[in-house]
Structure 1
Amino acid sequence: MIGTVREVTPNVDAGTVLTGAQFIDAFRVEVGAAGVNAREACTRMVLHGPRWIDVLLRLRNTLVKPFGLKTSGEGAYAPGGLIGLFPVLSETSERLIAGFDDSHLDFRIVVDVGGDAGSRQVTSTTLVRTNNLLGRTYLTLIMPFHKLVVRSMMGRIVEPMR
């Protein structure tokens, strides 16, 4: 059903995207016949998300700053520029990979667009590799919010097309 976000089995080569990833999940939304590419889908997710996600992100940035963790993608090498705070690491019209490495954990977001012309789908896969106790603790603390945030952000891919 168009606009319904559902959790799916991840279908990315974790070893290629983020070697040693300890966490991986994926969500998919049907977008119908819409001609969306991976950058546009990622932009809609990240830049047009619900306000409450912006509030959570600001809170997160305030809480982690004393620990020396990154609070934005500024200064990170990004061959494809930034989408919001996410550096774009590689991109085709069907796949965009964004993310960065930090002292506590490394993460990637993979946005895939697939399906035929009448039944397009966008899949967002998150991969995380923790680097230390702080990373493992951080991952544990954000997990209750992760699925809610991703589902809500993915819903924004379809919203501008309605």
Structure 2
Amino acid sequence: MRPRRAAVTLPNTWLPGADWADRYEVIVFTSRMTAAEAAWRALGSAPRWVRNLLSFRNRLVPLVGLNATADTRHSDLIASLPLMHSDDSQQVFGYDDRHLHFRLIVDVAEGPADGQIVGMTTLVRRRSLVGWLYLAAAIPFHKAIIPFLLTAVE
């Protein structure tokens, strides 16, 4: 099935001050998986075009005062995102920058007809004009990348 956009409720406990959010979901009818397995399938095998976009982002954002990579001393990494929380139903990745705070939540839940719903929720709290401008520029890419990554969990 194709990923679909889903509703997001704010505030969210993973980023209570978030002022921008979106969520995509896909129903999967393969073997049962944990959130860690879903995250690995989605984020661990990004295609070259996604990796190239993220590499370009990492070269560009220091020019406007954003961190190219976050502090990862206390985390595991998938797709260069610091892991903040992990259990069987959720994995939360993210970082806090002076211009914005970011969370990506990969979750699994029971779905219809013995399927599972795998979702990816993105939360952002913009903290400055640079954060607002960065997110405005990133949204079109985000809306292409996240649904595409979810197709890898099927």
Is the pair's TM-score, using the shorter chain for normalization, greater than 0.5? Answer: yes
The aligned runs of 1:62-141 (5 Å cut-off) are: 62-78=59-75, 81-115=76-110, 118-141=114-137
Tell me which residue corresponds to 2:17.
20
Separation (CA, whole Å) in 2 of partners of 1:14 and 1:111: 17
Structure 1 stretch displaced more, 20-29 or 30-39: 30-39
Q: Secondary structure at the match of 1:48?
A: coil
Of 28, 35, 39, the residue aligned with 2:36 is: 39
Aligned residues: 153
Q: Which runs of 5+ in 1 are unaligned?
A: none
**Residue 10 of structure 1 pairs with residue 8 of structure 2:** yes
Distance 1:98 1:14 in 2: 17
Moved more, 138-147 or 42-51: 42-51
- Any unmatched runs of 5+ in structure 2? none
Runs of 4+ residues over 4 Å off in structure 1 = none
- Please tell me the root mean square deviation across aligned C-alpha atoms, in Å: 1.7
Amino acid at match of 1:47: G
- Answer yes or no: is the 8 Å Cα contact 2:104–2:122 preserved in 1: yes
Deviation at 1:20, TM superposition (A): 1.1
Do the aligned residues in 2 keep the contact of 1:38 with 1:113 (CA within 8 Å)?
yes
Helix, strand or coil at the partner of 1:21: coil
What percent identity do the matched residue pairs reach? 33
CA shift, 1:90, in A, is 0.9
**TM-score under structure 2 normalisation?**
0.91
CA drift at 1:74: 4.6
